[in-house]
Amino acid sequence: MGLAASLLLLLVARSVLQGEGSRPDGGEALDGSAVPVAPPPPTDHASGAAVKKRDEPTTATAPPSAQDRDSDTQVVHAVPVTEGSQASTTTGGPEDGESGTGPEIARPEPPRPPPVSTVIDEGCRQVRIGDARRGVDLLMAAHDRAPRDLQLQWCLADGYAKLGKYESALRYYSDLLAENPRHSKALRGAAQANEYLNRRAAAAALYERLLVQEPNSASAKAFFAGEAQRAAGQLRPTP
């Protein structure tokens, strides 16, 4: 072999040796020293995932602050469940336009009293049929609402007279005569009340006024006839 061929083979062998010495997976360098190779990280044989070394530093994660928790958490207020209602929860306060209170319950209005004319008519009817006490009670209840009603005054006077309360009867007879001096029933009733109270002069004056309105009044004639007999008896000399 010639000298040229020997030099060519030497150069090829040297280039091959240089390429093997520079490989990253280990082997020998050109100078013959061993090249250190980093071992592969340990893996979990079950999952194939890399296992973190114990001595490796870990990044600590700070716990969430109170502000972060408040911003992410909505307060839920429990509403007590009552019988006949469903459980519900409310968040926060009442919605816009709501007062926060339940609807107002309408209270029934008290019954209205009957018209005063109806009460007077019923009171007078009770006096006429004989229940003077019931009639007087009804009429007195209506008196404050219609104190100057002529029918009311007459029925009250008549009712008290039937109860034997002649002073009370005279009060309402007088009120009636003050409104209507020619009221024949009031004149007769007032005269009889004074007669029962033995106020004969007052009775005689009222009977005289009654005779002007009713010349044939039986009660007025009977009173004056009795007064005449009384007078004659007093004037008759004793034997």
Question: What is the domain-level CATH number for residue 148?
Answer: 1.25.40
> Rounded CA gap, 171 and 109, in Å?
38
Domain of residue 224, residue span: 181-234
Lookup result for tokens 């409310």 = 90
In angstroms, the CA 159 to CA 139 distance is 9
Nearest to 182 by CA among 150, 157, 155, 134: 150
Tally of domains in the chain: 2
Residue partners of 208: CB distance under 8 A and separation at least 6: 220
Residue 132, domain member (yes or no): yes
**198 within domain boundaries:** yes
Is residue 209 domain-resident? yes
Q: What is the token pair recorded at 222?
A: 């009977």
What are 216's two structure tokens?
A: 């044939």
Structural contact between residues 199 and 193, judged by C-beta atoms closer than 8 angstroms:
no
Amino acid identity of residue 7, one-letter, is L
pLDDT of residue 160: 96
Question: For residue 94, is it within any domain?
Answer: no
- Write down the pLDDT at residue 142: 93
d(CA 201, CA 223): 11
> Hey, CA dihedral for 117, 177, 197, 206, is it positive or negative?
negative
pLDDT of residue 236: 55
> Are 114 and 136 contacting, i.e. CB atoms less than 8 angstroms apart?
no
d(CA 17, CA 11): 10
What is the mean pLDDT of each successive set of 10 residues along the chain, which is 239 residues long? 71 66 47 50 50 48 52 47 47 51 75 89 93 95 90 94 96 93 94 95 96 94 92 64
Q: Which two tokens stand for residue 191?
A: 């005269």
Q: Note whether 157 and 197 are same-domain residues.
A: no
Q: Using alpha carbons, list the distances in angstroms from residue 2 to 6, 58, 120.
A: 7, 67, 163
Residue 162's pLDDT is 95
223, part of any domain = yes
Q: Where are the alpha helices (DSSP H) in 180-215?
A: 184-196, 200-213
Instruction: Tell me: do 156 and 193 sit in the same domain.
Output: no
